[in-house]
Amino acid sequence: MIDNQVGRRYAEAIYEIAESADKIKSIYENLNTLMELYKNDNEFKTFITHPLIDIDEKKKVISEVFKEADEETLNTIFYILDKKRIGNIRNIVAEYLKIYYEKNQILDVEATFAVEPSEEQKQKLIDKLTKKTGKNVNLTIKVDRSILGGGIIKIGDQVTDGSIRKELNALKRK
CA distances from 157 to 37, 110, 160 (A): 29, 11, 10
Q: What is the mean pLDDT of residues 26-41?
A: 94
Q: What percent of the chain has pLDDT over 70?
A: 99
The range of the structural domain enclosing residue 71 comes to 2-102
For 143-171, write each residue's pLDDT tens digit. Answer: 998 888 888 999 877 888 888 777 777 77
Say whether both 66 and 129 belong to one domain: no
Q: Report the pLDDT value the prediction gives residue 145, as an integer from 0 to 100.
A: 87
3-state SS, residue 117: coil
Q: What is the mean pLDDT of residues 63-88?
A: 92
18 in the same domain as 89: yes
Instruction: Compute the average pLDDT of residues 68-87.
Output: 92
Q: Which of 51, 76, 102 is the last residue of a domain?
A: 102
Residues 6+ apart with CB under 8 A from 148: 114, 163, 164, 165, 168
Helix, strand, or coil (residue 141): strand
CA 28 to each of CA 72, 90, 141: distance values in angstroms, whole numbers, following the listed order: 11, 12, 23
The band of 1, judged by pLDDT with boundaries at 50, 70 and 90, is low
Last residue of a domain, one of 80, 102, 124: 102
Q: Quote the number of domains for the chain.
A: 2
Residues 6, 73 share a domain: yes
Q: Determine the pLDDT at residue 163.
A: 80
